[in-house]
Amino acid sequence: MCRSKIISLMLVVALLGAAAIAAPARAQDKPMRITYVVNGVLGDKSFFDSGERGVEKIADEYNAEVNTIELGVDPQNWESGLADAMANTDKYDVLIAGTFQMVDYLAKYADKYPDKVFIFFDASMAYDNKDLCKDACKNVYSITYAQNQGSFLAGVYAAAMTTSSLDGMNPDAVIGAVGGQDIPVINDFIVGYQQGACLVNSSSQFLVQYAGGWNDPAKGKEIALAMYEQKADIVFQIAGGTGVGVFEAAKEQNKYAIGVDSDQATIIMETDPDQAARVLTSMQKNVDNSLVRAAKLYQEGNLPLGKAENLGLAEGGVSLSVNDIYTKATPENVQKLIAAVTEAVSKGDIKVNTVFADEASAAKVAKDCSGMPEMKFDMTPFMSK
């Protein structure tokens, strides 16, 4: 064999080896094994439950073996719990975890298990940080969600509804938001929500407060009650389990709420239909669908390991819940408005504010619409007659 052919053959072998490292072979003759690690507890009727639904869908669609581990609400247990789950390599081919609190922990241990695949949602690995990602986290796929886009729709909806004729609404254009903590990802929800409201009504006023935690419904209720007293008709809860108290307050005061992450009205419909009726819609982070999408890519050998994908309205990563409560309570012109705004944002005709931008252009939480960017969108066809 001539020297040029030998070199060519060596290059082919080397490239095939590199491809095998970048995309580990999937054993199609065996069920996929998945471990889902929750840095909290299930039952929040929100974010973690959405992830669990995704894992259950994967089990059904791909006959996967699924193991869910709840680490509890004490952050002191999260790193050790995740490390133990990752070390139990006989239990999984793919390990799923999420939230910004867990980024450093997964990055710290991922390189120890190069033959395993890790799917991380709601935050991105610091792939370029060699101190955190020792091997560039090349076996980790990250999913982020354009929560600002979904919340923009929630703001459009809240502003359109707060001065409507729906029973319980007052003439004041005041809406509220309860955040779990004053952190960038929560503020990204809030700035989108506020910008959306300003598209509809430049006189919108905002009440914003942070509960300081994710599992305190009593605190959520206390904050929401105060907002309703200050003439807010609708309060957007972005506080996990704490936000359950917002729904309780809405029911008690005959006011309304917007849920988060999952279709929260549907979830509580059976146990408390009167409370569910007060949750007009929810800003969904479609964690469940994004995990099923990732599982499909993994099965096909197309999962983009070592990268992050941001899923927005165009990709179905976020959306507003449309259910019987929404349809019954929402005037036709508002439903058409939501559809039109969804299309405009998906096409890029409306640029939504975000806190995740350079310092000069990063949005800040506001009290009113002063300082909002100009948005070119014709509201005339959607004005109530």
Q: Which domain holds residue 136?
A: 17-145+290-298+304-310
Go through 45-70 and write b for each residue having 16 or more CB atoms within 10 A of its CB, e for each that does not.
bbbbbbbbbbbbbbbeebebebebbb
| 291-348 pLDDT per residue, tens | 999 999 999 999 999 999 999 999 889 999 999 999 999 999 999 999 999 999 999 9
pLDDT at 12: 39
Do 230 and 164 lie in a common domain?
A: yes
CATH of the domain at 333: 3.40.50.2300
Do 154 and 65 lie in a common domain?
A: no
**Number of domains the chain is built from:** 2
Cα separation, 110 vs 180, in Å, equals 29
- pLDDT score of 278 more than 60: yes
Do 69 and 131 lie in a common domain?
A: yes
pLDDT at 262: 86
Q: Please return the burial class of 178, using the count of CB atoms within 10 Å of its CB with bins 0-12, 13-18 and 19+.
A: buried
| 121-172 pLDDT per residue, tens | 999 999 999 999 999 999 999 999 999 999 999 999 999 999 899 999 999 9
Q: Is residue 7 part of a domain?
A: no
Q: Is residue 6 part of a domain?
A: no
Q: Is residue 315 part of a domain?
A: no
351 Cβ partners below 8 Å, 6+ apart? 373
Do 185 and 123 lie in a common domain?
A: no
The model's pTM is 0.81
Do 103 and 226 lie in a common domain?
A: no
Q: Is residue 3 part of a domain?
A: no
Q: Is residue 329 part of a domain?
A: yes
Do 232 and 357 lie in a common domain?
A: yes
Can you tell me which residue has the tokens 């970048």? 22
pLDDT at 28: 58
Do 118 and 157 lie in a common domain?
A: no
Q: Is residue 2 part of a domain?
A: no
Strands 279-285 and 318-320, sheet pairing: antiparallel
Cα separation, 146 vs 191, in Å, equals 12
Q: Identify the helix (H) or strand (E) that includes residue 148.
A: helix 147-162
Average pLDDT score, the chain: 91
